Structures are given as structure tokens and as C-alpha cells.
Amino acid sequence: MKQEYIAPKNWEIFRPYFKKIDVSAKTILLQEGEISRTMYFIEKGCLRTWINNDGKEITTQFFFEGESVSSIESFRTNKTSLYSIESIEQCTLQTLSQKDFQQIIESNPEMKNDFEAHLFKRLFQTQQFAFSYLKNNPQQRYEELITQFPHIVQRVPQHYIASYLGITSVSLSRIRNRQ
């Protein structure tokens, strides 16, 4: 869900290191099982993370303008990514290499502290979603999602939202029709 990895005001420190790319919808930026070597800052567009479960894609998070994404565990440890990163729509992204990120973090204690704070926030958000998944029924999860992120239904295809909620597109249609 919504992640505040590095606040846009802090992006300036990265400016000399950014490489701008434009990608079309449905572009795989990182494949599950590869090592993440790039962090993506979203200028325009929407990305999702997803896992492959026996050939079935399960969406795990969505990211929009002003947010950043990488397989942070892989990016920081050089271990393979547990998930893929894909564009949902046409995107303009600023990319930052693993090497440049490491250099900035190591030379700037404030950025290092911001990054650590981000990791704790991400852990907390992941826990919230996991507990919601265990505790709430699909209708409650959908209501929680649109309350927190009302723009999601205009930007994200229904089958990705259904996958994220752990239900079928048909079940999501039924839930939406009850609203």
C-alpha cells in the first residue's frame, strides 16, 4: 500500500544520480527470483508488486506518484527478490542504482536515519495488512482499501484489486455491487 520511502523533499540529494526512464504498461521491472539492483521513484504512473503462486499472480502492493519501490530486502542484501515489480500503466520513473544508493546512505547520516525509519514504517504497514487479511472478511478488506486509497478503483484494474484482496474478480464485483 502507500509507502513513504523517501519524502520528495529529500529526493534532491538523489538528483545527480537519477536516470529517468519511461515504461509502458505491463513492463516487468524486476522478476521474482532476480537480485534487485534498482530503486524506482515514481514521477507518473502506478506500479505493483506481485508473487507467483503456481502460475497465479497474487498482487501484494500498489505504488503511485511520489512513492518509491524496490525489492528492498534484495536491494540491501543481494539475495533474490521474493516478488516481481511491474508497471500497471504508462510510467515515468527516476531510477537509482544500488551502488549510488549505498554511497548516499553511507555518506549522509540523516538519509540513513530516514531510510531506517522507512523500514520500520514498511514493516508496520505489512503487519497491518497481514493482520487485516487474517481478521477481516473480503468485504471489510475492500472497504478498508477504498477508505485509505479511494483513487485505487479509478487507476487499478479490478483483477489486480481482487488478487490483492485474495478473492476472485467475480467476488469483487459482488462486493462492489453491494456498496
Average pLDDT over every residue of 127-136:
89
pLDDT at position 9 = 57
pLDDT at position 143 = 93
**Euclidean distance between CA atoms 166 and 137, whole angstroms:** 10
pTM to 2 decimal places:
0.87
Q: Are 106 and 112 in contact (CB under 8 A)?
A: yes
pLDDT at position 7 = 45
pLDDT at position 106 = 85
* 2-48 tens-digit pLDDT: 333 344 556 667 778 899 999 999 999 999 999 999 999 999 999 99
**Euclidean distance between CA atoms 9 and 57, whole angstroms:** 34
Share of the chain above pLDDT 90, in %: 63
Domain boundaries, the chain: 8-107
Looking at per-residue pLDDT, the higher value among 81 and 11 belongs to 81
Q: Which homologous superfamily is 8-107 in?
A: Jelly Rolls (2.60.120.10)
Q: Are 58 and 51 in contact (CB under 8 A)?
A: yes
Looking at per-residue pLDDT, the higher value among 57 and 133 belongs to 57
